[in-house]
Homo-oligomer: A and B are copies of this chain.
Amino acid sequence: MSAYEVISGGITAPKGYRASGVQAGIKYPRPDMAMIVSDKAAVIAGTFTRNKIQGAHIKFCRERLIARKAQAIVVNSGCANACVGTQGLLDARKMAKLTAASLGINEKYVFVCSTGTIGIPLPMDKIETGIAAAAESLSSDGGNLAAKAIMTTDTVDKQFAVECKINGIPVKIGGMAKGAGMIEPNMATMLAFMTTDAAVEAKSLQTCLSDAVAESFNRISVDGDQSCNDTVLFMANGCAGNTTLDVKHPEWSIFRDAVGAVAKELALKVVRDGEGATKFVTVTVCGAVSNTQARMAARAIANSLLVKTSWFGGDPNWGRIIDAIGYSGAEVIEDRVNISFDELMAVKGGKKSPNVSIEDMENVIAKKSFAIEVNLNLGKGKDIVYTCDCSEEYVKINAEYMT
C-alpha cells in the first residue's frame, strides 16, 4: 500500500504556487509561454540532458542551480534557443531579467526553459510581451494552462499530483511535463516541472529528484533521439509547514516514494503520448550479467525500428527482439534466452515454445498495452524501459515538422 493518494491539479496543487499559460505567438497560434511562481523563495533541484550539444537554458540553469534557490520558472515552447551562438545565453538571461522585473522578485531566483525548433533565435519582442502577459495572469489554479502552454507535438497535456503526510502534516507534490518525440532515456528527454509545498533540505531534494528521474524519465524511449534541451526542475517552498525534510528524516521514504510516483506517472504519460504511438510497451530484461547489460539489451529492443514497427503491425515477431539483443552489446547465449509476451512464454531456450501458438502471441500484441520480458538466464542483472510502437504517423509527423 502506498503512503500517498492521487489528488487533482498539477503544479499548482501544492500550497503557495501560482502559474499561467499565455499565447506569445512564437511559432504556433496557441499558448506557448508558461510561468510558475512560488509565493516565497523555494529550494530547487534539477537534472539536465547529457547531450553534448545543449540549449542555452541548460547552461543558464546549471549556473543558477549552484545556489539552489528559486522563486519562478519561465518556459517557452516553439523555439529551443539552441545552436544560435552566444545570443542564446544572452536571451536566456534577458528572459530571467524580464520575469523578475514583472514579478518584483530577485532576478537570481528565476529559472528559464525553452523547447521547440533548434537553430532559430528567440523572437525576443514576442517573448517580452509574453512574459508580461504571463506575470499578469498568474493564478493558484493556473497549472492547467501552464501544462498546455509547454506542449509542442504533444497531443495531450501531462499533469499529476499526490498528497502524503509527513509527521501528520499534509504535503503535496505536483508536476507537469511535455514531450512526445526526441525521447530517449538518457536523462529526461523532455521538460518536466515539479513543485512541492514541503520544506526540504537542498541536497536531499536533489538526491530525491535524481533518484526519481533514474526510475522514471530515464527509463522511457519513443524514438531513441536524445534531445539537447531536456530539463527537470523541482521546487520545494515549505508552505506546508512541516519541519524540514532530509534524507535522514524518519519519514523521508514517504516523501521520496511520493515524488517518485509523480515523476513516474509524468514519464509514462510522455510515452503514452509518443508521436504516432498506438501501443504502450514495458520491456523488462532480467538474468543479465549485470544491470548495465540488462539496460543495454532493454534499450536495444525498445529502440529497434524493426521491433517497434512489428508491434505496430500486430506481429509477435520475437525474431527481431532476439536479433536486437544480439547486437545490443550484452552477453547472450542463444539457447538460454526466454522471451515472454505478458504471461505467455513465447520463446524458451532460444526457440519458439512448441505449446504456444502464433495466435496466442498475436492476442497479446493486439492489446493497447503489454509487457515483453526477456530472461537471459546468465546472472542477476535487471532493467526496465517503457516504450511505444512506431507507426506511419510517426514518420508523417516528423517529415512534416518543418524547420
Which B residues are CB-close (under 8 A) to A331? 52
Partner of A351, one of B119, B391, B394: B119
Whether, in the assembled complex, A395 has its beta carbon less than 8 Å from a beta carbon of chain B, the answer is yes
Whether, in the assembled complex, A133 has its beta carbon less than 8 Å from a beta carbon of chain B, the answer is no
Among the listed stretches A9-17, A138-146, A197-205, A317-325, which one makes contact with chain B, having 4 or more residues with CB under 8 Å of it? A317-325
Partner of A225, one of B304, B390, B401: B304
Question: Smallest distance from the beta carbon of A320 to chain B beta carbons, Å?
Answer: 7
Asked if A322 and B398 make an inter-chain contact with CB atoms under 8 angstroms apart, the answer reads no
Residues of A within 8 Å of B, CB-based: how many? 65
Among the listed stretches A23-31, A180-188, A233-241, A247-255, which one makes contact with chain B, having 4 or more residues with CB under 8 Å of it? A180-188
Question: Smallest distance from the beta carbon of A61 to chain B beta carbons, Å?
Answer: 17
* CB closest residue in chain B, given A305: B223
**Interface residue ranges of A297-326 to B (CB < 8 Å):** 304-306, 309-310, 312-320, 322-326
**Interface residue ranges of A326-342 to B (CB < 8 Å):** 326-327, 331-332, 334-335
Question: Smallest distance from the beta carbon of A259 to chain B beta carbons, Å?
Answer: 27
Asked if B182 and A306 make an inter-chain contact with CB atoms under 8 angstroms apart, the answer reads yes
Which B residues are CB-close (under 8 A) to A313? 398-402
Partner of A309, one of B82, B184, B399: B399
Question: Smallest distance from the beta carbon of A198 to chain B beta carbons, Å?
Answer: 34
Whether, in the assembled complex, A84 has its beta carbon less than 8 Å from a beta carbon of chain B, the answer is yes
Asked if A118 and B85 make an inter-chain contact with CB atoms under 8 angstroms apart, the answer reads no
Asked if B83 and A351 make an inter-chain contact with CB atoms under 8 angstroms apart, the answer reads yes
CA A316 – CA B52 in complex, angstroms? 21
Asked if B315 and A399 make an inter-chain contact with CB atoms under 8 angstroms apart, the answer reads yes
Whether, in the assembled complex, A80 has its beta carbon less than 8 Å from a beta carbon of chain B, the answer is yes
Question: Smallest distance from the beta carbon of A216 to chain B beta carbons, Å?
Answer: 19
Asked if A186 and B327 make an inter-chain contact with CB atoms under 8 angstroms apart, the answer reads yes
Asked if B403 and A358 make an inter-chain contact with CB atoms under 8 angstroms apart, the answer reads yes
> Given that A319-B80, A323-B182 are contacting pairs, would A398 and B310 also be in contact in the complex, using a CB cutoff of 8 Å?
yes
Asked if A224 and B85 make an inter-chain contact with CB atoms under 8 angstroms apart, the answer reads no
Asked if B83 and A319 make an inter-chain contact with CB atoms under 8 angstroms apart, the answer reads yes
* CB closest residue in chain B, given A318: B119
Asked if A326 and B225 make an inter-chain contact with CB atoms under 8 angstroms apart, the answer reads no
Whether, in the assembled complex, A352 has its beta carbon less than 8 Å from a beta carbon of chain B, the answer is yes
CA A182 – CA B305 in complex, angstroms? 9
Partner of A395, one of B309, B315, B400: B309
* CB closest residue in chain B, given A184: B327
Provide the A347-359 mask, 1 if CB < 8 A to any CB of B, else 0: 1011110000010
CA A227 – CA B319 in complex, angstroms? 10
Partner of A392, one of B80, B119, B306, B395: B395
> Given that A305-B398, A350-B83 are contacting pairs, would A322 and B118 also be in contact in the complex, using a CB cutoff of 8 Å?
yes
Q: A52-B332, A228-B322, A228-B326 are in contact. List 9 more A-B contacts (CB 8 A).
A: A51-B323, A52-B334, A118-B317, A118-B319, A225-B306, A225-B324, A315-B401, A319-B403, A392-B399
- 18 residue pairs from A and B, CB less than 8 Å apart: A52-B331, A52-B332, A52-B334, A54-B326, A83-B347, A117-B319, A118-B317, A118-B320, A119-B318, A225-B305, A225-B306, A225-B327, A228-B322, A228-B323, A305-B390, A309-B399, A313-B398, A315-B402
